[in-house]
Structure 1
Amino acid sequence: MIPYGKHQIDQEDLAAVIDVLQNQLLTQGQQVPVFESALKNYCGAAHATAVNSGTSALHIACLALNVAEGDLVWTSPNSFVASANCARYCGAQIDFVDIDPITRNLSVEALAQKLEKAKQANRLPKAIIMVHFAGMSCDMRAIHALTAPLGIALIEDASHALGGRYLDKPVGGCQFSDVCILSFHPVKSITTAEGGAVLTNSATLAEKLRLFASHGITRAADLMDVESEGPWYYQQIALGYNYRLSDLHAALGVSQLRRLDSFIAKRRELVQIYREKLAGLPLVLPLTSSDSAWHLFTVELRQHDRSEIFARLQKAGIGVNVHYIPIHLQPYYRKLGFRPGDFPYAEAYYQNALTLPLYPGLSVDNQQYVIDTLISILG
């Protein structure tokens, strides 16, 4: 089966992990700080906090921004459920902003309209989580212009977008946001097996993020309410979590990050081939972007039944997928009052969406097989 996404591991990756196993601390050693430093340098942010998943990154981002019970958080319905769940972990209410059918990202026009109604109702969100779907950044400058006068915190969910660019700068620099989160799941731009990170330019937020990621514990004397009793002494000053990334995972991340640009370049090559060879089929192809990290290559079927096409491709050994079932249609969120029809563009996109295989190790022959099979079925 040709998967829709897959990690790529080489001998340098293996050597980095083996070195930690044989010669270093497995956790709370030196590799996590090295990885954090490499991430912030690559993305252009002042601070980076590595954690054990993108979901954990979203959770502590909300916590650091003081999202709490009674608050309201908005996000895109076209994402994995973690983009909304993180607010619910904090006791906040969630709502969604429909997508732009062309970019499939959160619609700036829909956001402007929703903000105007929220101002009139005196019910503005505490934070908005923008999802850079499939690797293409949302229009962060426009979103910031709408939200900054209202004091709304902005969280970039860049789980798909590490290695991408926005306004000629790397995604993750937080130029127009308070924090930006990353994911290192095996199908993402780079992998740590499981892992994530939060980037920010705020020293205050960075301090909170580290506390929430590590039990709320500090060894910093200036943060304690009494004098330290010695070098062994620590205090829990907040209710935190054990979201730490291990040094094994971090070592893999450091090694992978060195090849990130080559991974993205390969993804872009594969996307160009898809665009050229699928152009004549009854498909809506994703918007062309030289800045996208191209985590996913998602098409929309124009004339055919998605279930039938999905089944035929799977039977042919092609592991297509669907990204995403709109979050508000999940049973948990329907119980909160959301209904079909609430966000029509996200729902219309989902009805016809199909994700084709895309990853740096996808061979020329395997990609051509995917293309030939699609032509055979749809042409």
Structure 2
Amino acid sequence: MIFYGKQHVNQQDIQAVIAVLQSDFLTQGPTIEKFEQRVAAYCGAKYAVAVTNATAALHIACLAAGLKTGDVLWTSPNTFVASANCGRYCGADVDFVDIDNDTYNLSAYKLAEKLAKAEVRPKAVIPVHFSGQSCEMEQIHALAKQYGFLVIEDASHAIGAGYQGAKVGSCRYSDMTVFSFHPVKIITTGEGGMVVTNQEALYKKLLLYRSHGITRDEALLQGASDGPWYYQQLALGFNYRMTDLQAALGYSQMDRLDEFVVRRRYLADRYNRLLQGLPLKLPYQDLAANSAWHIYVVRLDLTKVRLSKQEIFAKMREKEIALNLHYIPVHTQPYYRQLGFNAGDFPNSEQYYKEVFTLPLYYGLTDEQQDQVVKALKEVLK
């Protein structure tokens, strides 16, 4: 079976994890900080905080941004539910901004339009770099300055991607950026996530929220320390700590991040050539963005395809190819419908969902396997 995504772990990665197993620290040791520093340096950011997963990263980013009951978070409907749930974890209300019909990212134009009309404006906006392609961050940043909201980039798909000549994660146009290291992502720590930022005040808050709200930093203590064992809980934080084992795998994978992205871009270009002539809309690439190609999505021309998506998925699985779909619009989920959202609220996202599916794309996908995917798709859609 050819799956839509898959991790790539080599002997170097395995040896890095074994070295930690044979060390004095399995968790809360020096490897975590090494991994954080390496990702921050790669992105061109000052600070990084590693956590258990990208959902935890989004949560503590929202907490560091001061999101609370009575505030509002805006994000894209075309994302995994965590991009919205993180606001709800903080007690905030959530709303959405419809997507651009070409990039499938949160539309900067629709964001501007919604801000101009809104009676209650957001405390924070989370643009999601869907499939690995950056949103229009310069325009979103300008709106943030105009209307006074914080920007948290959800770059779960986009480590290794570029925007206007800089790496996604540089935080040039945002307050914080979140990465995911789930096994199907571009690099993996097994499970894991990270927040990067250039703001020291946010960095200190992120550290607190990652580990129960506890600190041993004497500069932050309220009163004198009782001794070397002493700590204080300054906030209600969480146990979101990454282990040294995970960090060792991530640190090792960083050696091949650029190699992973180059291969993904090669495979995406190859799909672009091989799929010509099929009743599909192929992915659009903004000239300002250099996608990391976490996923490759295509849209069906429903005027030319007689099969339903369910039939296409079933027929492709018969040919040993497992398609996927990214994403079901968040506002259509039962939980969010209970909050007052309805079908028709974000028409671009809803039409996109009717037409889209995700083809296999990962570092270890061979040219021959990709040919097999394309051959099967042509036979199904003929």
Please tell me the TM-score bracket, short chain as reference.
over 0.9
Query: What corresponds to 1:16 in structure 2?
Result: 16
Query: What corresponds to 2:370 in structure 1?
Result: 367
TM superposition shift of 1:183: 0.3
1:307 and 1:236 map into 2 onto residues whose CA distance is: 51
The match for 2:269 among 272, 275, 280 is 272
Residues 43-66 of structure 1: CA distance to partner in whole angstroms, max 9, x if unpaired?
A: 000100000000000000000000
Query: What corresponds to 1:36 in structure 2?
Result: 36
Moved segments of 4+, more than 6 Å: none
The amino acid across from 1:292 in the alignment is S
The amino acid across from 1:175 in the alignment is R
Query: What corresponds to 2:78 in structure 1?
Result: 78
TM superposition shift of 1:288: 3.3
1:188 and 1:284 map into 2 onto residues whose CA distance is: 24
For residue 23 of structure 1, give the secondary structure of its aligned residue in structure 2.
coil
1:214 aligns with 2:211: yes
Where do residues 117-266 of structure 1 align in structure 2 (5 Å cutoff)?
117-118=117-118, 121=119, 123-266=120-263
TM superposition shift of 1:147: 1.9
For residue 73 of structure 1, give the secondary structure of its aligned residue in structure 2.
strand
2:238 and 2:285 map into 1 onto residues whose CA distance is: 40
2:143 and 2:198 map into 1 onto residues whose CA distance is: 20
1:65 aligns with 2:57: no
2:149 and 2:115 map into 1 onto residues whose CA distance is: 10
Per mean C-alpha deviation after superposition, the further-off stretch among 313-322 and 257-266 is 313-322
2:139 and 2:365 map into 1 onto residues whose CA distance is: 36
TM superposition shift of 1:211: 0.2
1:50 and 1:259 map into 2 onto residues whose CA distance is: 19
For residue 227 of structure 2, give the secondary structure of its aligned residue in structure 1.
coil
The amino acid across from 2:367 in the alignment is V
2:354 and 2:83 map into 1 onto residues whose CA distance is: 20
Query: What corresponds to 1:297 in structure 2?
Result: 296
The match for 1:318 among 306, 316, 321 is 321
Q: Compared with structure 1, are the counterparts of its residues 360 and 225 closer, same or farther at alpha carbon in structure 2 (3 Å cutoff)?
A: same
TM superposition shift of 1:314: 1.4
2:335 and 2:318 map into 1 onto residues whose CA distance is: 32
The amino acid across from 2:48 in the alignment is A
Does the 8 A contact of 2:129 with 2:155 survive in 1? yes
For residue 290 of structure 2, give the secondary structure of its aligned residue in structure 1.
coil
1:135 and 1:56 map into 2 onto residues whose CA distance is: 20
Q: Compared with structure 1, are the counterparts of its residues 288 and 176 closer, same or farther at alpha carbon in structure 2 (3 Å cutoff)?
A: closer
Query: What corresponds to 2:51 in structure 1?
Result: 51
The match for 2:340 among 337, 342, 345 is 337
TM superposition shift of 1:24: 3.4
Residues 275-304 of structure 1: CA distance to partner in whole angstroms, max 9, x if unpaired?
A: 001011000100135710000100011133
The amino acid across from 2:347 in the alignment is P
The amino acid across from 1:212 in the alignment is Y
| RMSD of Structure 2 on Structure 1 (CA) | 0.8
1:115 and 1:250 map into 2 onto residues whose CA distance is: 40
TM superposition shift of 1:142: 0.5
For residue 341 of structure 2, give the secondary structure of its aligned residue in structure 1.
coil
1:53 and 1:85 map into 2 onto residues whose CA distance is: 14
Query: What corresponds to 2:99 in structure 1?
Result: 99
Residues 241-284 of structure 1: CA distance to partner in whole angstroms, max 9, x if unpaired?
A: 00000000000000001100000000011011100010110001
TM superposition shift of 1:109: 1.2
Does the 8 A contact of 2:49 with 2:207 survive in 1? yes
1:87 and 1:69 map into 2 onto residues whose CA distance is: 9
TM superposition shift of 1:150: 1.6
Query: What corresponds to 1:354 in structure 2?
Result: 357
The amino acid across from 1:297 in the alignment is Y
Q: Percent identity over the alignment?
A: 55
For residue 299 of structure 1, give the secondary structure of its aligned residue in structure 2.
strand
Residues 177-199 of structure 1: CA distance to partner in whole angstroms, max 9, x if unpaired?
A: 00000000001110000000000
TM superposition shift of 1:376: 1.1
1:238 and 1:312 map into 2 onto residues whose CA distance is: 53
Residues 63-113 of structure 1: CA distance to partner in whole angstroms, max 9, x if unpaired?
A: 000000010010000000000000000000000000001010001111111
Does the 8 A contact of 2:133 with 2:285 survive in 1? no
The amino acid across from 2:112 in the alignment is A
